[in-house]
Structure 1
Amino acid sequence: MASVLASDLVFEGNVSGAGDLHIDGTVRGDVKVGRLTVGETGNVEGGVQADIVEVRGRIVGAVVGKQVKLLGTAYVDGDISHEQLSIDVGAYFQGRCLQVRKGEPTPVSHHPQAAPSMGFSAPSYAQPVPAPAPVDAGQLIELKPASA
């Protein structure tokens, strides 16, 4: 039987445990449980980690799970690290999908909303990508095919 955070409740702080959690209210903090369901009225503002994550509501933060399901009413803004991922038609997702194979360590998320307490860190890139040169209105730009 899952613990339930009702739709009229707001919880500020981190939540952790080995059991099942169903969120219909709001959590402002990280959530680390065995199985997480975010209901249609549920809202998580922080990182999420669970073996099974089912989202009908809203998550703004990194998601780490073996099985991650975004149903049609889901809104997720953050990277998802997963073994299995399904996204239904109608779901909103902005971020990167990072597939993890069984036995590999879970990659570190690079989402700015992720909290240090869950082991997330800022990305590091080998070389910076140069910004494109500004283009003046009315300037003619000649496109050439790439050389082989």
Structure 2
Amino acid sequence: MFNKSKSPAPTPQSRADSGSSIPPLPDLPAPGQPAASAPRSAGPAPVSQRGLSTLSSDLQFEGAITGGGDLQIDGAIKGDVRVGRLIVGETGAVEGNVSADYVEVRGRIVGGISGKQVKLIATAYVDGDITAEQMSIDIGAYFQGRVLQGRREAPAATPAPRPAAPAAEPAPQIIDMKSGG
């Protein structure tokens, strides 16, 4: 069923040159080789240099989680989560408010979500309000709550004087959605 390839086996000298017997990861260049520009998919936002922390599916955590890094939740969390980038896996569950620049939900969140970019994948279950600059909901995702969509304003160095009469500013969009999948 499977044919053995006829490619030559790596020589012991090439392993000695790399300094260890562990081969490089597929998406990283081998030591001593220039980095080739490989085409990237239009998938989720890139993971930071620190890597991705993971709460595995057999773990449960109770309490708040805060930090600036990236987190993938495959287990269960009871408490608020505030990180730089968050992925809730298909087996992941959060009971509490979530805040991150990038939020991708494949599992379950019962609580509010706040982020610059929020994605609800087809397997997502969200029961709570969402505040986001950019939002996408795949067909099949369950979402019950409200969406407040608008741009975050950068804080001004000095407060500007307020006009006596209210200016005609566009109000953020509030969308009341109930969808099921």
* TM-score, normalized by the shorter chain, greater than 0.5: yes
Counterpart CA distance in 1 for 2:75 and 2:55 is: 6
The partner residue of 1:37 within 82, 87, 98 is 87
Counterpart CA distance in 2 for 1:28 and 1:102 is: 27
RMSD, aligned CA: 1.1
What percent identity do the matched residue pairs reach? 69
Higher relative contact order (CA 8 A, sep 6+): 1
Counterpart CA distance in 2 for 1:85 and 1:104 is: 20
Q: Which has the larger radius of gyration?
A: 2
Q: Secondary structure of the equivalent of 1:95?
A: strand
1:71 is the counterpart of 2:121: yes
List alignment gaps of at least 5 residues for structure 1. Answer: 106-148
Task: Please list every run of at least 4 consecutive aligned residues from structure 1 whose deviation after the TM superposition is greater than 3 angstroms.
Answer: none
- TM-score normalised by the chain length of structure 2: 0.57
- Deviation string 1:50-90 (CA, Å, 9 cap, x unpaired) is 00000000000000000000000000000000000000000
- TM-score normalised by the chain length of structure 1: 0.69
Q: Aligned residues, how many?
A: 105
Counterpart CA distance in 2 for 1:87 and 1:51 is: 17
1:62 is the counterpart of 2:112: yes
List alignment gaps of at least 5 residues for structure 2. Answer: 1-50, 156-181
Q: Secondary structure of the equivalent of 1:94?
A: strand
